[in-house]
Amino acid sequence: PTSTKQEPVPTQFVTTCPTPGTYTFPATTVVVTSTTTVCEATSHPLTPGHNTYGGVTTEVTTSTTVTCPYAAVETSNGVETTVLSSTVYVCPSAGTYTPIPATTTSVPVSTVLVYPIPATYTPGTYTRDETVVTVTETDFVYVCPYTASVIPVPAPTSETPAPPPAQTSETPAQTSETPAKPSSSAPPSQGGIKSNGDQWAITYTPYSSNGACKTSDEVNADISIIAGKGFTTVRLYATDCSGLENVGSACSANGIRMIIGVFIDAGGISKAREQVTQIVSWGKFDLVDLVVVGNEAIFNGYCSAGELASFIGECKDAFTSAGYSGPVTTTEPLNIIQLHAATLCPAVDVAAANIQPFFNPETSPELAGTFVAGQLALVSAACGGKDAYNLECGWPSSGSANGVATPGTDAQRVALQGIASAVGSRTVFFSFNNDDWKHPGTFGVEQHFGCVDIF
């Protein structure tokens, strides 16, 4: 369906067969006499856990402005209507950009999502042969496209505009995400955040392989390794396992800076306030370059954007009163930042997101750096040009492939070296070592992001 009346066009046939059986789809012929852009249904398989789909990327060779169509679903009085809209995106220089970011969702079981995308049809005759399909499962989604036979019919200039001037492609992705990389040599303006060339920070959790808390000696040994690898900073997600005390002491002894966190979980903001009290009591703010309030808390449904923004302000007041003078932020996937930019961006001192290129099935290890740089530029753009940081970024050394995103030790090395080269001075690499205590998750990769040996 489209928001405007159009001549018939050969949108691909997408239907759900509710029960096992034999289905017959009749032959159809459609003649298109003018170039037409409409909404079309497409499908994407979803696996249990986090998934990304949709999104449009474009590559330009010079600075330009791209007009990109997109399909959206609007609801009025309980009735959903698919409408065709467009966005104007400014590409400041040559590079790869994402004018339409991908969507991230989470599902408990495998399913197939059907959603709208824009499709442009040029003049021609389009045919679809009669097809008989035997279905052996319930709710099977069947997609049947047309075959085109182009005819020489000129397109009137008064019809719906042709596709964007720059070449675009439909890509599922996280986010999904990629403009030209920002310069890694430009120093940030907030809070004295510093890197060692293309190495800034790495995530650290004080857990052993079975999920138990590490001892202070074990933590000190780990932080010593991190310092020896050339990192200047570690990111600590929360205050559990005596993290502030043990990691703080180890960082002080090894000349390492800290990014500390107030973690929001299913207990919500009221529970997270306990960590604010712990941080104020700890008080070693001379070690801290950045405070992160929440880690994908909106994405996980633990709080609303308004609640998080208010809590960030509450944390800033508490930490400032206790002697902290550095920046405070939060971090979410890119699409959440973009969706709630008007609420979140005024509350933070620097913009931040978790950018995990592996979960974009169109991103190979060789393109990870380009992808992340593009995503990071979009994070900054969403917040009006504020300094932007990538607070969680890695590549798995084992697991199953996600499209062209392939895990493996060699793939991990290639991906992380590319990310370091592109935006290492603004990226927190994930993670210090493998997290055997985690659930394997989608593609069986969640335990295999340990990467300190790459550096």
Residues annotated as catalytic (active site), given as ranges: 296, 392
DSSP for 53-98, please give it: E--EEEEESSSEEEEEEEEEEEEETTEEEEEEEEEEEEE-SSEEEE
Residues in the chain: 455
CA dihedral for 250, 254, 234, 388, sign (positive or negative): positive
> Helix 243-254 crosses helix 268-282 at what angle (to 10 degrees)?
40
Environment class of residue 298 by beta-carbon count within 10 Å: exposed (0-12), middle (13-18) or buried (19+)?
Answer: buried
140 sits in which H/E element:
strand 140-144
Tokens 């994405």 — which residue?
299
SS3 for 366? helix
Distance of alpha carbon 83 from alpha carbon 142, whole angstroms? 23
Distance of alpha carbon 289 from alpha carbon 257, whole angstroms? 7
Tokens 């969403």 — which residue?
382
Distance of alpha carbon 188 from alpha carbon 380, whole angstroms? 12
Distance of alpha carbon 12 from alpha carbon 1, whole angstroms? 12
Cβ neighbors of 312 (< 8 A, separation 6 or more) are: 293, 294, 328, 329, 330, 347, 348
DSSP for 270-337, please give it: HHHHHHHHHHHHH--GGGEEEEEEEESTTTTTSS-HHHHHHHHHHHHHHHHHTT--S-EEEEB-HHHH
Encoded tokens for 70:
């997109």
Instruction: Read off the amino acid at residue 129.
Output: D
Distance of alpha carbon 421 from alpha carbon 405, whole angstroms? 19
Q: Pairing between strand 257-262 and 36-46?
A: unpaired
